[in-house]
């Protein structure tokens, strides 16, 4: 099935990378998700008050990966010129210090410059506080994403 929606295309790529089974039924694909909005950007804006003292680096070593798995800090997956953010979070002790905005900005610039992405994709709950942060960094609403699930 040719999936046209960039939000679902990147969702499928992420689910496969996480080890989920994605079944193409020919005329439909079932995606289990809550109502979200797909935001996209072709560039990112520096946060109003960036955390310039923060060190932004790629994960290195088992301890970094363990912490990333525990905290689900950020994950970006490239697919057909798209770079998808997933699970951008900040440890509770370090919130309200502009770290998330700094990380999203840095990851976006990395995706565009180093990974060759032409469009950044973020799927977010429009009622969650981080949605405003993403818009402040240059992401704009592109499409609504509605999903449903059947309880086993």
- pLDDT number for residue 138: 93
Cβ pair 68, 103 in contact under 8 A = no
Dist. CA 19–CA 138, nearest whole Å: 31
Given the structure tokens 């002790």, which residue do they identify? 93
Confidence class for position 13, pLDDT limits 50, 70, 90: confident
- pLDDT number for residue 26: 78
Residue 150 — φ and ψ, nearest 5°?
Answer: -105, 120
pTM of the model: 0.59
Element (H, E) at 11: helix 6-17
**Is the predicted pLDDT of residue 76 greater than 70, yes or no?**
no
Cβ pair 29, 3 in contact under 8 A = yes
**Is the predicted pLDDT of residue 28 greater than 60, yes or no?**
yes
Summary mean pLDDT of the chain: 76
- pLDDT number for residue 10: 80
**Is the predicted pLDDT of residue 33 greater than 50, yes or no?**
no
**Is the predicted pLDDT of residue 24 greater than 60, yes or no?**
yes
Confidence class for position 7, pLDDT limits 50, 70, 90: confident
For the segment 77-100, what is each residue's pLDDT rounded down to a tens digit? 445 788 888 777 787 888 888 888
Residue 92 tokens read as: 């509770």
Cβ pair 83, 101 in contact under 8 A = no
Distances (CA, A) of 123 to 8, 40, 67, 93, 111: 10, 9, 23, 25, 16
For the segment 111-121, what is each residue's pLDDT rounded down to a tens digit? 888 878 888 98
Strands 75-79 and 119-124: unpaired
Q: 94, 107, 96, 97: which is closest to 137 by C-alpha?
A: 107
- pLDDT number for residue 12: 80
């Amino acid at each position: 099935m040719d999936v046209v929606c960039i939000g679902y295309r990147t969702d499928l790529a992420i689910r496969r990378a996480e080890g989920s089974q994605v079944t193409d039924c020919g005329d439909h694909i079932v995606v289990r998700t809550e109502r979200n909005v797909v935001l996209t950007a072709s560039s990112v804006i520096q946060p109003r008050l960036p955390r310039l003292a923060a060190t932004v680096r790629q994960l290195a070593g088992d301890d970094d990966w363990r912490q990333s798995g525990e905290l689900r800090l950020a994950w970006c997956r490239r697919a057909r010129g798209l770079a998808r953010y997933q699970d951008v979070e900040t440890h509770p002790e370090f919130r309200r210090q502009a770290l998330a905005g700094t990380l999203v900005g840095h990851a976006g610039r990395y995706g565009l410059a180093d990974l060759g992405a032409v469009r950044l994709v973020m799927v977010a709950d429009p009622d969650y506080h981080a949605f405003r942060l993403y818009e402040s960094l240059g992401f704009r609403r592109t499409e609504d994403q509605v999903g449903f699930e059947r309880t086993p």
